[in-house]
Amino acid sequence: MAWLVLVVSGGLEAVWAVALSKTEGFSRLLPSVVFLVAVVASMVGLGYALRTLPVGTAYAVWVGIGAALTVVYSMAVGDEPVSVVRLLLICGLVGCVIGLKLVH
């Protein structure tokens, strides 16, 4: 259960990162609310997962999922360029996250 919560929390990290970029210094209400809800939910989930998972592994997986999803989303909506090198590096990041799970 901790792994599932950790993966969802990593996804929420991407949500709050994207929402934060849309807040314009917290001057826009909806992105600010999405940011606040997602960041709290993400941290609560990470905290729950840390009850049973080692902090180094859990944090690396949480950040890796959030980073990969944030970059993929940004490329999908055209905010960042898409290239073969970027896609390979994201695959490498996801592979490392999976590897951390497998050696746990």
Annotated domain spans of the chain: 2-103
Structure tokens at 24: 């314009």
pLDDT per residue as tens digits for the range 63-95: 999 999 999 999 999 999 999 999 999 999 999
pLDDT per residue as tens digits for the range 9-56: 999 999 999 999 999 999 999 999 999 999 999 999 999 999 999 999
> Residues 6 or more apart from 40 whose CB is under 8 A from it?
none
pTM recorded for the entire structure: 0.89
Return d(Cα 34, Cα 15) in angstroms, integer.
8
Q: Are 75 and 60 in contact (CB under 8 A)?
A: no
User: pLDDT at position 75, please?
Assistant: 96
